[in-house]
Amino acid sequence: MTITIYHNPKCGTSRNTLALIRNTGVELEVIEYLTHPPSRTKLVELIAAMGVSVREVLRKKGTPYEELHLDETTWSDDDLINFMMAHPILINRPIVVTPVGTKLCRPSEVVLDILPLPQLKEFTKEDGEKVIDAEGNRVAHTS
C-alpha cells in the first residue's frame, strides 16, 4: 500500500495531516513539494484526481498570489498551472494520495476520509483540538 503526501513541514495543517497518516502505522512517501515540486504532468493528474478546479488548488496566504493578480478571471487553467510551476508555494497543501483517493487535506482531518487503515491511538492536533479519541474513533466537532 502506497500513501504519498505533498508536504510543507512549515505548515501546521500539513504536519497534522502527516501525523494522522502516521497514526495508522503505515509507511508513506513524504514529498516536500517546495524543494521537490511535482512535474506539470503530475500536478495536472493530482488536480484531476481530486476532482477540483485549478483555482481551488491555488494558495493565497503567504504566497505571491496578490502580486501576480491571480484573482483576475482572465487567467486560464494552463496559466495558473504555469504560475504554480514557477512558484510551488502557490500549490495549496497538503495533497494526499492513497489507494482510496486523492484530496487536498484542509482541514487536516479530511485525510481520515481516504485512509485505508484505522487510527491506532488518540490524536490531538498541534492547536490542542482532539481529532481521535482513546479508542481510535473520530471525535465529532460542532462548528
CATH number at residue 38: 3.40.30.10
The domain in which residue 32 lies consists of 4-132
pLDDT of residue 125: 95
Residue-averaged pLDDT of the chain: 95
Residue 19, Cβ neighbours under 10 Å: how many?
16
Give the H/E segment covering residue 49: helix 40-50
Q: How many domains does the chain have?
A: 1
112 lies in some domain: yes
User: d(Cα 106, Cα 111) in Å, to the nearest integer?
Assistant: 8
Which residue matches cell numbers 513524504? 30
User: d(Cα 39, Cα 104) in Å, to the nearest integer?
Assistant: 17
pLDDT of residue 143: 54
* Mean pLDDT score, 104-128: 95
pLDDT of residue 104: 98
User: d(Cα 89, Cα 13) in Å, to the nearest integer?
Assistant: 15
Q: Which residue has the higher pLDDT, 53 or 136?
A: 53
Phi, psi for 44 (deg, rounded to 5): -60, -40
> Which member of 3, 5, 11, 70 is catalytic?
11
Q: Is 105 a catalytic residue?
A: no
43 lies in some domain: yes
pLDDT of residue 33: 97
